[in-house]
Amino acid sequence: MGRVIESPYLPGAGPWLRGNLHTHTTESDGNLSPQAAVDAYAALGHDFIMISDHDRVTPIGQLDARGMTLLQGNEITANGPHMLHVNAAAKVEPLRDRQAVIDTVTALGGMVIMNHPNWESHFNHCDQRTLDMLRGYTGIEIYNGVTLRAEGSPLATDRWDMLLSQDRRVWGFADDDNHDDIDRGVCWNVVQCASREAEAILEALRVGRFYASTGVVIDEIRVEGSRIRVFSSNAQAFHVQCDHGCTAARVNGSELDFEVPDTSSWRYVRVECFGPGASQAWTQPFFLHS
Ligand SMILES: [Zn+2]
Ligand SMILES: [Zn+2]
């Protein structure tokens, strides 16, 4: 018997909506007012954004959304590793006990994304032990835009593979974390979602029905039996990653057709797409069952 592939994606090509969940404004240390930030993201063609000022739930009700869907949020900052509070009904106190923070966010109907684990000169803003011990967060930033020009690494797929290899169900997010103009449109999340309603977008994020990108466009992700197929308009190569950061396959081209071997004992595979320049996209993991 072959392996059974659990895919977070729906059959069919999209529809896809693009958004950024990590946006600072003049309500904390961003350079644009909340309305100007919304305007700037609308001009980029985004479909949704979340304003995430530091330890402050910036009101969005009075903003002109410019056709986008606005999500209420903030970045829980003081006293510990930074975490996004997605769908923030109210401010949650940034207690040192981050597990208590996650539990409160979850009880309020929100989601937590652990931010930029590899930020700072020691590349260790959130150490792996903390990521391992905390429970109930939805995902981690596998790419954090502002860290391109800050100390450490924007990329944190290493942390992700360590979690996934322990059977943790955490999704990979790519967020600008924009503070200045140069940070805007560096990366984004693309949800497979037929509705532009906030609730529908949040549900897609909650169940991992999205991919993360710095420029590679994925048109369709298809699972057929034991094969995973990815169709892109601008990818030039793919890496299939599996447990503990191992690379199971490297394929050139704009389409991937990967067969999961019957004999593999992998917990998961995920696909990294490489495009022009330094652009990439990352699918969510496909969990494998016997
Ligand atoms: Zn932060
Ligand atoms: Zn931030």
How many whole angstroms from 165 Cα to the centroid of ligand 2?
A: 27
Q: What is the mean pLDDT of residues 267-277?
A: 97
What secondary structure letter does DSSP report for 54? B
Average pLDDT, the chain: 97
Q: How far apart are CA 148 and CA 82, in angstroms?
A: 17
Q: How far apart are CA 258 and CA 15, in angstroms?
A: 23
Q: What is the mean pLDDT of residues 42-64?
A: 98
Residues around ion ligand 1, judged by CB within 5 A, are 82, 115
- Closest CA relative to residue 129, chosen from 162, 93, 103: 162
Q: Considering every ligand atom shown, identify the ligand nearest to the alpha carbon of residue 22 and give its number.
A: 2
Q: What is the mean pLDDT of residues 144-152?
A: 98
Beta strands in the chain (DSSP E): 4-6, 16-23, 48-51, 69-76, 83-86, 111-114, 139-144, 171-175, 188-192, 210-213, 218-224, 227-232, 237-242, 246-252, 255-259, 268-274, 280-282, 286-289
How many whole angstroms from 77 Cα to the centroid of ligand 1?
A: 7
- In this model, does residue 47 exceed pLDDT 70? yes
Structure confidence by residue, pLDDT tens digits, 232-253: 999 999 999 999 999 999 999 9
How many whole angstroms from 191 Cα to the centroid of ligand 1?
A: 23
Looking at residue 161, what is its pLDDT?
Answer: 98
How many whole angstroms from 68 Cα to the centroid of ligand 1?
A: 24
Domains of the chain and CATH, by start:
4-289 (3.20.20.140)
Looking at residue 14, what is its pLDDT?
Answer: 84
Q: Considering every ligand atom shown, identify the ligand nearest to the alpha carbon of residue 74 and give its number.
A: 2
Q: Which residues pair with 224 in a beta bridge?
A: 227
- Count of CB atoms situated within 10 Å of the CB of 99: 14
Q: What is the mean pLDDT of residues 253-262?
A: 97
User: Where does the pLDDT of residue 201 fall: very low under 50, low under 70, confident under 90, or very high at 90 and above?
Assistant: very high
How many whole angstroms from 221 Cα to the centroid of ligand 2?
A: 30
Q: What is the mean pLDDT of residues 13-37?
A: 97
- Count of CB atoms situated within 10 Å of the CB of 276: 10
What CA dihedral angle connects 287, 208, 166 and 103, to 10 degrees? -150
Structure confidence by residue, pLDDT tens digits, 58-98: 999 999 999 999 999 999 999 999 999 999 999 999 999 99
Q: Considering every ligand atom shown, identify the ligand nearest to the alpha carbon of residue 145 and give its number.
A: 2
- Closest CA relative to residue 35, chosen from 78, 2, 66: 66
- In this model, does residue 8 exceed pLDDT 70? yes
- In this model, does residue 1 exceed pLDDT 70? no
How many whole angstroms from 6 Cα to the centroid of ligand 1?
A: 32
Q: How far apart are CA 136 and CA 121, in angstroms?
A: 28
User: Where does the pLDDT of residue 288 fall: very low under 50, low under 70, confident under 90, or very high at 90 and above?
Assistant: very high
**68: Cβ contacts below 8 Å, ≥ 6 apart:** 19, 38, 41, 42, 46, 47, 48, 49
Looking at residue 2, what is its pLDDT?
Answer: 82
Q: How far apart are CA 287 and CA 264, in angstroms?
A: 12
Q: How far apart are CA 142 and CA 172, in angstroms?
A: 5
Contact between residue 192 and residue 9 where contact means Cβ atoms under 8 Å apart: yes
Residues around ion ligand 2, judged by CB within 5 A, are 75, 177
User: Where does the pLDDT of residue 12 fall: very low under 50, low under 70, confident under 90, or very high at 90 and above?
Assistant: confident
Q: Considering every ligand atom shown, identify the ligand nearest to the alpha carbon of residue 81 and give its number.
A: 1
Total number of residues shown for the chain = 290
Share of the chain above pLDDT 90, in %: 98
